[in-house]
Amino acid sequence: MRPSAGAIRVSADPSFRAGAVMSLQLYRDEAVRQRSAAEASTLQNVRERCERAAQAWDALAVRSERADAARSKAASEKLLLNSSENPDRGLAASIQRES
């Protein structure tokens, strides 16, 4: 069965993190946009609201970065745990070369 034209495709490759990168960039762009709006505003309450929004977008960006780092660390640890010591698979050979 073929997916429909509007279907979302999910990558089987765990290193495919385009969505996370896009979200992180979105958070940073929105923080910049809110700060610009705060600077352009003549009303104090609007400036304060925009600054709070910018701080919230910055917090989302930091949270996203931490989550990405934790995900990467977990993936690399999983890769090391699931590695074979069979010389045909290369792990033992790479360890011997480093020594």
Summarize pLDDT for 47-74 with one digit per residue, the tens. 999 999 999 999 999 999 999 999 989 8
**Angle of helix 44-81 relative to helix 18-40, nearest 10 degrees?**
160
Whether the model clears a pTM of 0.75, i.e. scores above it, the answer is no
Instruction: Kindly state the helix (H) or strand (E) to which residue 56 belongs, with its residue range.
Output: helix 44-81
The answer to whether residues 80 and 89 touch, using CB atoms and an 8 Å cutoff, is: no
Averaged pLDDT score across all residues of the chain: 78
pLDDT for residue 11: 43
The amino acid that residue 72 corresponds to is S
Cα 23 to chain centroid, rounded: 7
Q: For the chain, which residues make up each domain, given as ranges?
A: 18-68
pLDDT < 50 positions in the chain: 1, 7-16
Closest CA to 95 of 74, 80, 73: 80
